Amino acid sequence: MTPRLWAIGTFAVLLVALIAVAFATVPRHRAPAPRADQLAALDQLPAEKVARGRAFHAELRPGSYTGMVLGLLVALALGLTPLGARLVELAGKPFGDHWLARAVLGGLVIVVLTELVTLPLAAWRHTIVARYGISTQTWGGWTVDLLKSLAVGAVLGAIVLAGFFAVTRFAPRWWWAFGAAGAAGLVVLLSFVLPVLVEPVFNRFTPMADGPLRTELLELAARDGVPVKDVLVADASRRTRAVNAYVSGLGPTRRIVVYDTLLTEATPGEVVSVAAHELGHAKDGDVLTGTLLGALGAALAVVFLYLLGSWRWLLGLAGADSIGEPRAIGLLLAVTTVAGLITGPAQAWVSRRVEARADTHALALTGDPDTFAAMQRRLGTVNLSDPDPPAWEHTMFASHPSTVQRIAAARAWARGER
Cα–Cα distance for residue pair 326/92, rounded to 1 Å? 10
Quote helix, strand, coil % in the chain, to nearest 5: 75, 5, 20
Q: By three-state DSSP, how is residue 121 classified?
A: helix
Report the alpha-carbon angle 262-153-321, nearest 5: 150
**Residue 355 labeled ligand binder:** yes
Q: Which of 359, 368, 386, 388 is catalytic?
A: 359
DSSP conformational letter for 95: G
* Alpha-carbon 309 to chain mean position: 28
Cα–Cα distance for residue pair 124/117, rounded to 1 Å? 13
**Residue 98 labeled ligand binder:** no
Q: Is the dihedral of CA 266, 268, 270, 276 positive or negative?
A: positive
Report the amino acid identity of residue 396. Answer: M
Cα–Cα distance for residue pair 72/260, rounded to 1 Å? 37
Report the amino acid identity of residue 366. Answer: T
Q: Is 278 among the residues known to form the active site?
A: yes
Q: Which of 37, 260, 265, 278 is catalytic?
A: 278
Report the amino acid identity of residue 298. Answer: A
Beta bridge partners of 258: 233, 245
CA dist 286 → 65, 139, 293, 327, 351 (Å): 29, 36, 10, 37, 10
Burial of 153 from C-beta contacts in 10 A (0-12 / 13-18 / 19+): middle
> 156 — phi, psi (to 5°)?
-65, -40
Q: Which residues are annotated as a binding site?
A: 277, 281, 355
Binding residues for Zn(2+): 277, 281, 355
* Residues marked as catalytic: 278, 359
